[in-house]
Every structure is written in C-alpha cells, then in structure tokens.
Chains A and B, each alone.
Chain A
Amino acid sequence: MSGAKAIPIILARQLASCVAMPILLVDVEGNLIFYNEAAETLMGQRFEETGEIPAEEWNRMVTVADENRVPLADDERPMRAALLQRRPVSRRIWTRRGDRPWRQVQVTAFPLVGAEDRLLGAMNIFWEVR
C-alpha cells in the first residue's frame, strides 16, 4: 500500500480528532495531511472536502505574516521552520486565506520524530488571539 502513514502520524491524527484546539498535521514535505474540526474554522473548509493538500497549494492558499503583517518567507513559516530546524517553534502570526479577513493566532509547531531519529512530519497547534 502506498502512502501508509507511520504510527506516530496516525496517533497524532487520532489525538487531533479528540481535542478542541485547532491542529494541523503536515508530512515531511510540508504537505497538509490532516486538520481537525476545530481547524476547519480557520481553514474555511472541512477536511472531508479538501482531503490532503500539497505543500505548494497550501502555501499559496494561506498567507502567513509576522506581527506587522509582513509576509513570512516559506522557510520562516512556523510549520516549515519546525520541519527544517527539527525544533519547536512558537510565535504569534497573522494568517489569511485568500481575500478573507486577517486572523491573529498564536501557533506552536513541533516536529514529530520517530524511532531512529526519523522525521515524520510536524504538528501545529493554533490559539486564536482575540
């Protein structure tokens, strides 16, 4: 079977499905492979409708900016940074999908590292700043 997910990724999805915080999961290439119900509000669409979203499309869909609303380079996006640097990243950002209103969120992204130090993806948790 191609595309079989590693157990930590499956368990991360199961955890995300059971909690109320918005959570996104990306694979090692940065493809968005799951987001939970709470994150559907931020995404504006249900996961069942979009399915997995390739990294390039995902980066185009959502603009991520710093606290001054200056767009972040791809590698500075918290999720991407967590993958590239293999460390947790936590920062406050502005995010916007298409021409919808900006939303300010606090995001914590951390890499999922499996046995034998294998990078599997990253989990990203959002708290909306109100």
Chain B
Amino acid sequence: MRVTLWGTRGSLPTPGTDTFAYGGNTSCVAVQGYEGTLLVLDAGTGIRTMGATIGAEVRRVDVLLSHLHMDHIQGLGFFPPLYRPGVEVHIWGPVSTKLSLRTRLMRYLSPPLFPVGLRELPSELHLHEVPADDLRIGEFRIDAALVCHPGATVGYRITDLRGKVLTYLPDHEPALGDATFPSRTPEWTSGAALAEGSDLLIHDSQYTADEYPGRIGWGHSSMRHALDFGKLTGARHVVPFHHDPGHCDAELDRLLGAAIAEAKPSYRVTPGREGTTFTL
C-alpha cells in the first residue's frame, strides 16, 4: 500500500509560512492499495487537495473517520467525489450510544454551518458505523476499535493482502490516568491491540512533555508518549502526527528531535509532514 499524508495538523488549520514544512491542514491520510482500493483516513482540511487528485475513473472511495471532532470532518464538504453522480462514497465512523452517524454528520453538513445538506449530495452516499465485525474494503482488512479520546473515537488497523499493516491513531491518549505510562501491559493499554507489530504507526504526538500535564484528559499524547507507545506495541516505523497548532516548523524540528533523542527508539521515526508518502 501507499500511504500519503495530506493533513498532519491537530485541532485547527494552521496555514502560514512558519508551518509550511509540516503543513497546516488538519488530519487526512490517503491509502492506496496495489489493486486500486482507495481509502481516505479522516476528512480534515487536507481532504480538499487530496480529493482533487481523484480522477473521474474512480467509482468508489471509502472515507474512514476516526471521530467527529471538527478538525477531522471540516473538509468533508469540499471532497470532490461527493459531488459526482454515480460515484459511491462510503463513510465509516464511530458508533455512538445515542445518535446515528448520519444524524451526527448532518449537524455539520447542514445550514447554518454548511450550505449543502447530506441529502443534496449527488453521489451515492453510504454511511456505516464501526467497530464492525470482519470488515473488508476491497483488498484491505480493516480492524477498528474504540480508543481513549473524548467522545466516541476509533483507531484503524489496515492490513493489505501482503500482510503489511498500517495503524492510524491520530487522536489518542493512552497515558490517561497512568502517571508512569507505559507501565501497563499492552492488553491494558488503549489502542495497543490495533497497533501491535505495525509496519507503519501514525500516532498522535500533539504535546511536549512539559505541555501534557496541563492538558491531561484532552485526548492527546505527548511526543514521548507516542514514541513509548510505538515501543510498547512493537511498531517498526512511527510517524508522530496531529501537531499542535501552536508549534511552528522550527519548534517541531527541535521538539521532535529532542523527544527522539531522549527516547532512543529502536525503530524508525519519521515526523509527519504534509506530502510525505510511505510505501509498505
């Protein structure tokens, strides 16, 4: 599979000359299978430019939403396939205890927040709730599980026909309530089953170690937590992701560099930058 980062920023789009290298668009990752299956992970503002690369010959796209916080759905209304008659767009998102996925998405995709309602979209729209048993999309097997983040939030483990594994945990706070994280075994750690032995792990790394104590419970990880999580789960390659809007390029270079130097990971680490492609 080929994995391309189209939006790596957390919480809020952060355009500007000082965020150009890591990117200012919010979460969006494209996964292209060798047999043509196209998955889009999250619909942050990065989905607009990603969607512009989808040719008219593509008849089906699957958008997998980790959760419905604004930075993960804000770009949905600007996703070109939604406006193409006859194109199948499948949107997958976390189940809620109260409201359907359609109802929750319509809160955003309807006036006054957005001029076009879900019902008006000319594409063939299909909505699905996850976790779901034995979920397969094209050539991919998808495992989804609820993870630690405020509100219903899932992470995804995507396995291709060759057995290569991508795990996507963009908003994740496995250290919540565990002051000495990672002190517990993987089975007692949020998201660990999804990430176990991943070839590529894209993981929340929003805060510095100094910032995290003031933001406990907000649903995110420190850079060090992301690296420790990678070690705990035996990941082969970790991509720190969901960068804080307050961290400019120079700061991210310095902060991530320091976190990596301190953690001394035995696996590869590539800080998430918009436009980066990984081939598994």
Contact: A5 with B148, CB < 8 Å? no
A-B contact count (CB 8 A): 43
Is B96 interfacial (CB 8 A cutoff)?
yes
Contact: B178 with A1, CB < 8 Å? no
Residue of B nearest to A1 (CB): B193
Residue of A nearest to B154 (CB): A7
Size of chain B's interface in residues, with CB distance under 8 A? 19
Contact: A17 with B177, CB < 8 Å? yes
Contact: A10 with B152, CB < 8 Å? no
Is B146 interfacial (CB 8 A cutoff)?
yes
Is A85 interfacial (CB 8 A cutoff)?
no
Min CB distance A25 to B, Å, is: 11
B95, B96, B148, B196: the one contacting A10 at CB < 8 Å is B148
26 contacting pairs across A/B (C-beta < 8 A): A1-B186, A1-B187, A1-B192, A1-B193, A1-B196, A2-B187, A4-B186, A4-B192, A4-B193, A5-B188, A6-B146, A7-B145, A7-B147, A7-B148, A10-B148, A10-B188, A11-B177, A13-B177, A14-B176, A15-B177, A17-B177, A17-B178, A18-B177, A115-B97, A115-B146, A115-B152
Instruction: Please name 17 further chain A to chain B contacts, defined as beta carbons within 8 Å, in addition to the given A6-B146, A7-B146, sorted by A numbering.
Output: A1-B186, A1-B193, A4-B186, A4-B187, A4-B192, A4-B193, A5-B188, A7-B147, A10-B148, A10-B188, A11-B176, A13-B188, A14-B176, A14-B178, A15-B177, A18-B177, A115-B97
